[in-house]
Amino acid sequence: MVMRKINVNSWLRVVAIALGSVAMNVVQAQDDTSFSLFDEPSAPVAEKVQYAFKTTKVVNLQSLELIDPGVFDFKMSHRFGAMNGGAAAFNSEDAVNAFGFDVATIRFGGEYGVNENFMVGLGRYNVKSEKGVDAYVKYRLMHQTSDNKKPLSILLLGAVDYKNTQYDRTIMGIAGPVTITWGIPGKQRISYVGQVIVGKKVNDDFSWILSPTVVVSGMSDRYDAASESFVSSGTAKTQFALGMGFRNKLSSRTSLNMEYIPILNGNGDFYNSFSVGFDVETGGHVFQFDFTNSVGMNESMFITRNTDRWGAAGVRLGFNLHRVFTVVDPSHFQ
């Protein structure tokens, strides 16, 4: 039998090449941050939770949302009269009710996003016998994150309302009726609102908020247009309230919203605000249709100055219309 002679040098070269290849693979694995002996999953990246609500409003209450930086959101709000006005318009040429559809109160204004966490708002309103302007600022202290290290969003709202209504009274003079204007000092025409907005987007379908609020009114009396006089409302100038609201998604473009705002230190002649709304998104517009007993459309009015209640058909139909315009290129804020 012929024995083949083993070439030791060839075998040594093969072994050296194999060991070198193994060493290179180990070095590459050490450099690869995704390499794991046990194939451990990487930690999820924390992201800010977005779109808890369709707009900056639940119905009347401010939501967890802010206007994007450099964007102006034009808002038009409308409330019809209370449904308990009946159908008098169909029976009399002098009466104007038609279940509230012949009565209109409006507010128009807008909001502008200064930066990612700060926006400002300004508006003009005409509510029954009250006319005025309002302004507010809204600032986000904390933004909910997807990793739950920040489980809630927290925002602050500061608002001011100035009524420039001319309050008149009629008296009988020697030559007949004479109209006299009530002299209301400027400081009594101003109301202030402070609010903390705490909330959470629980999942893609459901979000909620709680809004502890303080409202400081310039005067506690209310103007009665029928008697052309001021009467006691039975309320304090400083009132505390707790706003509660939620949004439940119905489809990709619609949602159901509800809110309730009880006064904590006495209502006097007024009633707690309760509202139900439906959001409908259509391209660049968001329509909010609502049923509410609040005729006022800023915090100092819809929280503490509601003269109607749901139980007596004091509910009214209304809507909010939102249309956004880009004022500053978004890349400016990146």
- CATH code of 268's domain: 2.40.160.40
d(CA 4, CA 107): 103
pLDDT beyond 60 at 2? no
Contact 48, 144 (CB under 8 A): yes
Question: Do the domain assignments include residue 298?
Answer: yes
Burial 206-234 (b: 16+ CB within 10 A, else e): ebbbebebbbbbbbbebbeeeebebeebe
- Give the pLDDT mean for 4-28: 51
- Give the pLDDT mean for 170-197: 84
| Mean of per-residue pLDDT scores for the chain | 83
Give me the count of residues in the chain.
Answer: 334
d(CA 119, CA 286): 19
* Integer CA distances (angstroms), 99 to 59, 108, 224, 315, in order: 22, 24, 22, 10
Question: Do the domain assignments include residue 5?
Answer: no
pLDDT (tens digit, 9 = 90+) per residue, 233-257? Answer: 888 899 999 999 999 999 989 999 9
pLDDT beyond 90 at 166? no
Beta strand 316-326 with 285-292 is antiparallel
Quick one: pLDDT at residue 10? 58
d(CA 327, CA 305): 35
d(CA 63, CA 200): 10
Question: Do the domain assignments include residue 37?
Answer: no
- Sequence letter at residue 11: W
Among 36-45, 184-193, 207-216, 253-262, which stretch is predicted with the lowest mean pLDDT? 36-45
Quick one: pLDDT at residue 308? 86
Which residue range(s) make up the domain with 131? 71-329
pLDDT beyond 80 at 203? yes
Quick one: pLDDT at residue 190? 94
d(CA 144, CA 150): 5
Quick one: pLDDT at residue 182? 78
Quick one: pLDDT at residue 311? 80
The residue with greater pLDDT, 22 or 141, is: 141
pLDDT band at 103 (very low <50, low <70, confident <90, very high): confident
The residue with greater pLDDT, 72 or 286, is: 72
Identify the DSSP state of 48. B
DSSP string for residues in 78-115: EEE--GGGTTGGGT-SS---GGGTT-EEEEEEEEEEEE
Strands (E), 21-152: 71-80, 104-115, 118-127, 130-142
pLDDT beyond 60 at 22? no
Contact 114, 69 (CB under 8 A): yes
Please tell me the total count of domains within the chain: 1
d(CA 243, CA 59): 11
d(CA 289, CA 319): 4
- Give the pLDDT mean for 135-149: 96
Quick one: pLDDT at residue 174? 77
pLDDT band at 7 (very low <50, low <70, confident <90, very high): low
pLDDT beyond 60 at 35? no
Name, in order, each residue with C-beta under 8 angstroms of 289's C-beta and a sequence gap of 6 or more.
277, 278, 280, 317, 318, 319
Name, in order, each residue with C-beta under 8 angstroms of 11's C-beta and a sequence gap of 6 or more.
none
Question: Do the domain assignments include residue 188?
Answer: yes
Question: Do the domain assignments include residue 16?
Answer: no
pTM score, two decimals?
0.81
The rounded percent of the chain whose pLDDT value lies above 90 is 50
pLDDT band at 107 (very low <50, low <70, confident <90, very high): very high
Question: Do the domain assignments include residue 168?
Answer: yes
pLDDT band at 92 (very low <50, low <70, confident <90, very high): very low
- Sequence letter at residue 239: Q
d(CA 100, CA 271): 19
Question: Do the domain assignments include residue 211?
Answer: yes
**Top-confidence range, 51-65, 165-179, 300-314:** 51-65
The residue with greater pLDDT, 16 or 267, is: 267
Question: Do the domain assignments include residue 90?
Answer: yes
